[in-house]
Structure 1
């Protein structure tokens, strides 16, 4: 009997160790890695001068030749999604939860779209407010959100980039992390705050304002995911935020001085 109890304890300890390792592995290959580089990038910017005088460029050209730029951009998006696939595979293997259990499916398109759109409107206004306040306080760099060439595929590529960010971040920060946190017996608010801090950290390269804004968004998204148990509405909201930001900037940003 004692031997059976010890065997169970050893197995539980090994399982918890495996779960923690899988979380670290996935984050080290994806958003955790981005957080480390983002912190270093902020330190670099702070030692160069005031943040208000600097610009952060997103969605940059990867080659000055159209075919290779298109190819690099597309491959960058495809390979960036691999950690999300790895997370889903490990989650199913180690916890038994698949994509349907975390709400990545089309079973509730209307309700998911409605909730996602509502979150987009609320978070969009908040994002603009945080950005404006950050610029006024000098803790946020100017953002240049779309810097691809003037090609026919630039807008579709920006939309694919928005899909990439939405899927990767919400699958990892919500579906994956929340599932593993529950298996590791972490409390709800410990999980929500931890996820939000990571989310904020990998936006530090844009300055302190975006970090604060994304941390707050992470708290809201975490609570909504806990309440409804579905990642899809958050993916929709995140996609809309990035799509409007990227494509809107590409079409009208430079003309009206956005980012200055």
Structure 2
């Protein structure tokens, strides 16, 4: 009996080590890597000559002066950014149906759409006010959500980029990470905090307003996922928020002075 207990303990320890290494590797090729770069970026910004509030953080920038080549780079960037999502689902599939476990299915499309739109509404306006307030306080950069040239494919690419951001972040940082951390025996509070702080950390390149706003969003999304076990509404909410930010900025930047 003693030997069996020892063997069981060793097996449990080995399983936790495997899970931990898997999580670190998935994050290392995705948003954990982004968090490290964001930390370096905010350090560089804080030590620059210009104050943080006078610096720009540009998202969705042009990759080439040649439109067809720029489009190619944009689409390839979107495509390869989704590979960690496929990896995370593949790893979860070893323990069963990963898509179903994450709620990445079509069992309740209208409820998912409604709850996703509700979450976007809940977060959208307060998030905008937080960003404007942080910028006025000098703790955030001026975020430029889109800087693509005036070409026919700009809006479709921005919509695809919004969906890519949403799928990557919600599947990896909420669905996959929270599932694995709970399997490793982490307490619920630590799981929520880790997911939310990771989300905030890879937005640090925008400044501290971006960190705080996204960390709060991370807590809300984590609580929703714990309650309903579905990632799809989070993907919908995130996509809507980013589409409004990216496309809205593109359409209004020449007409609204505070953008």
TM surpasses 0.5: yes
Q: Is the 8 A contact 1:249 1:258 kept in 2?
A: no
- Secondary structure of the 1:254 match is coil
Q: Is the 8 A contact 1:155 1:247 kept in 2?
A: yes
Gaps of 5+ in 2: none
Q: Which residue of structure 2 aligns with residue 91 of structure 1? A: 92
Residue 202 of structure 1 pairs with residue 212 of structure 2? no
- Secondary structure of the 1:150 match is coil
Q: Which residue of structure 2 aligns with residue 79 of structure 1? A: 80
Q: Which residue of structure 2 aligns with residue 256 of structure 1? A: 256
Deviation at 1:258, TM superposition (A): 4.0
Determine the C-alpha separation between the residues in 2 that align with 1:92 and 1:189.
26
Determine the C-alpha separation between the residues in 1 that align with 2:258 and 2:72.
29
Determine the C-alpha separation between the residues in 2 that align with 1:258 and 1:136.
11
Deviation at 1:186, TM superposition (A): 0.7
Q: Which residue of structure 1 aligns with residue 53 of structure 2? A: 52
Gaps of 5+ in 1: none
What do residues 179-234 of structure 1 show as CA deviations (whole Å, max 9, x unaligned)? 10111111111101110000000000000001000000000110011111100100
Determine the C-alpha separation between the residues in 2 that align with 1:14 and 1:90.
17
- Secondary structure of the 1:143 match is strand
Determine the C-alpha separation between the residues in 1 that align with 2:73 and 2:207.
27
- Secondary structure of the 1:96 match is coil
Q: Which residue of structure 2 aligns with residue 224 of structure 1? A: 224
Q: Which residue of structure 2 aligns with residue 138 of structure 1? A: 138
Equivalent pairs, count = 258
Determine the C-alpha separation between the residues in 2 that align with 1:107 and 1:55.
42
Q: Which residue of structure 2 aligns with residue 125 of structure 1? A: 125
- Secondary structure of the 1:104 match is coil
Superposition map of 1:128-207 within 5 A: 128-207=128-207
Q: TM-score, normalised by structure 2?
A: 0.97
- Secondary structure of the 1:56 match is strand
- Secondary structure of the 2:149 match is coil
Q: Which residue of structure 2 aligns with residue 2 of structure 1? A: 2
Determine the C-alpha separation between the residues in 2 that align with 1:76 and 1:117.
27
What do residues 58-95 of structure 1 show as CA deviations (whole Å, max 9, x unaligned)? 100011111111111000000000011111111222x4
Superposition map of 1:227-246 within 5 A: 227-246=227-246
Deviation at 1:245, TM superposition (A): 0.3
Determine the C-alpha separation between the residues in 2 that align with 1:255 and 1:57.
19
